[in-house]
Amino acid sequence: MLTRPAPAATDEGGKLRAEFVEWMQGLPAGWVTATPGLGRPAQLTALGNGVIPQQASKALELLASPFPRCSRCRTR
């Protein structure tokens, strides 16, 4: 679900904007880009190495098998 309008994908020089990547990953505005002392290259590195929350949630849903019931345990 889109929560805000998409920022411009590139700056005036044609370079990818970290704010756009942050938006594409569904992260809140400023999640990475408002970190003090973190420049554009470091922001893009952090975003590139990050996990997309929606993807991680779906992976856990698909991969987490239910725990089998213990035959010696009783349900109260």
Neighbours of 59 (CB within 10 A): 12
Q: How far is CA 60 from CA 27, 53, 55, 64, in A?
A: 19, 11, 9, 5
List pLDDT tens digits, range 10-46. Answer: 999 999 999 999 999 989 999 999 999 999 999 999 9
Evaluate whether 43 touches 33 at the Cβ level (below 8 Å): yes
Q: What is the pLDDT of residue 4?
A: 87
pLDDT, mean over the chain? 88
Mean pLDDT calculated for residue range 40-62: 91
- pLDDT at residue 74 above 90? no
Backbone angles phi, psi at 16, to 5 degrees: -60, 135
- pLDDT at residue 52 above 70? yes
Evaluate whether 60 touches 51 at the Cβ level (below 8 Å): no
Evaluate whether 9 touches 20 at the Cβ level (below 8 Å): yes
